[in-house]
Amino acid sequence: MSSHLILKLPPNYPYDDLVKIAELLKVRDVFVPGYIPGDGSLYEPSSFMLEGWGEKIETVMLPDRNVVSRIARVAQGEKIDAHMRMAAATMAFAQCLDILIEPSVSFHELAPSQGNSLTISELSWFRVADNGLNADWIAAALGRVDRIEPALPLQKIDHLDLSMPLSRWKRNYIAALKIAEIELGGGTALGRIKMLLDWMYHEFILAGPAALLGCIYFAPFNPPRQGLFKQLRSDDRDRAIRGVKNAAWDITHLSDFARRVNEHPDGDRRFLFVTFDASLRTLARLMIGTDDQAEPVDRLAGAMRQWWSAADASVIAHTLFGYFDRGRSPEWFAAQKANPHAIDEFIDRGECVLRRWKP
């Protein structure tokens, strides 16, 4: 015997417009779910209505910095281009379906390069957007207007320092520096990824998202690595460093996504990672996985066969999970505790290696 839940929408609910917006997002395929959605339900408004309003499942969007910044620009009244229109569609979709948006990592990413004052200003505009009218964001998403009127005054934000790097970003930056060093050092594809995993286990930490980035970045068969390490071989080594820092923020977004998913295994709170970056979506999907029946090592090996030979994919997956299963010795933990400056030393060494490299 099956049961059905019927939801009655208000007379003025913009359902037809919401369906059009959902189709825009589906065509661009901007969502990576931290759960396994039903067939065809990822962009289906009625699925979110039934699960959110009927079953009381809370959904949270985790947008990357480009999505967040474009939403803030739309809220400021800038003329809307194609990328900003897609950001507006994301906001309209969330507003219509009571989906929460958590952008904190994006603002931590912005502050070190733009400064705390400008970051706080953008955060203020994002809050204006988040509290804005559905009708404005629907109109922006569907191309009915080329800008929206800014809602003033801005909410004042005091005593918030976003400029200090997150500790997990520092760890991801170290891993990204190592990936860059190995890439510039040459060698075979399999040799490079094994070198990364061996270093993580013996000298650093087993950073899952960074390891998976290496699995894509070093792959020999047309991997989606475009934009992952910008300007790595530039004559200007500062530009190379900035590219590695950007890659570390990509990893940090994904590690935050994975952490939140793991904290809610019962599914009472679900997460959607949102990005317009195809490479980042690929990495996120590799990290989360879509087959809950297969063993994790087999799932990873199967997913990587699009970029590696079957034999190499199996070797990599078993190496990574073998290290996860092995654990650490008490001596390893004692050595880490004995050096409180290890993080800064790793960063200094990694940056020094990249700056010394000659094109």
In this structure, are 100 and 223 located in the same domain? no
- β-pair partners for 274: 31, 63
Say if residue 265's pLDDT is above 90.
no
Q: Is residue 220 part of a domain?
A: yes
CB 30 within 8 Å of CB 72: no
- Examine residue 111 and state whether it is found in any structural domain, yes or no: yes
105 and 198 inside one domain: no
Q: Is residue 158 part of a domain?
A: no
Q: What is the pLDDT of residues 54-113, one digit of tens each?
A: 888 899 999 999 999 999 999 999 999 999 999 999 999 999 999 999 998 998 888 888
Q: Which residue would you say has higher pLDDT here, 306 or 163?
A: 306
Is residue 263 assigned to a domain? no
**137 and 172 both lie in a single domain:** no
Please tell me the total count of domains within the chain. Answer: 2
Q: Is residue 134 part of a domain?
A: yes
In the prediction, which pLDDT does 292 show?
65
The answer to whether the CB of 85 falls within 8 A of the CB of 143 is yes
Co-location of 135 and 181 in the same domain: no
Q: What is the CA radius of gyration of the chain?
A: 22
The pTM score is 0.90
In the 8-state DSSP scheme, what is residue 149? P
Residues 6 or more apart whose Cβ sits within 8 Å of residue 197: 211, 214, 316, 319, 320, 323
Helix, strand, or coil (residue 291):
coil
pLDDT given for residue 4 in this prediction: 61
Domain that holds residue 22: 15-141
Residues 337 and 190 in one domain: yes
Residues in CB range of 223: below 8 A, 6 or more apart: 216, 217, 307
- Domain membership of residue 71 (yes or no) is yes
The answer on 172 and 122 residing in a single domain is no
SS3 336: helix
End residue of a domain, out of 107, 141, 175: 141
Same domain, 136 and 174: no
Q: What is the pLDDT of residues 272-312, one digit of tens each?
A: 999 999 989 999 998 887 666 778 899 999 999 999 999 99
The C-alpha atoms of residue 123 and residue 137 are separated, in whole angstroms, by 18
Is it the case that residue 248 has pLDDT exceeding 80? yes
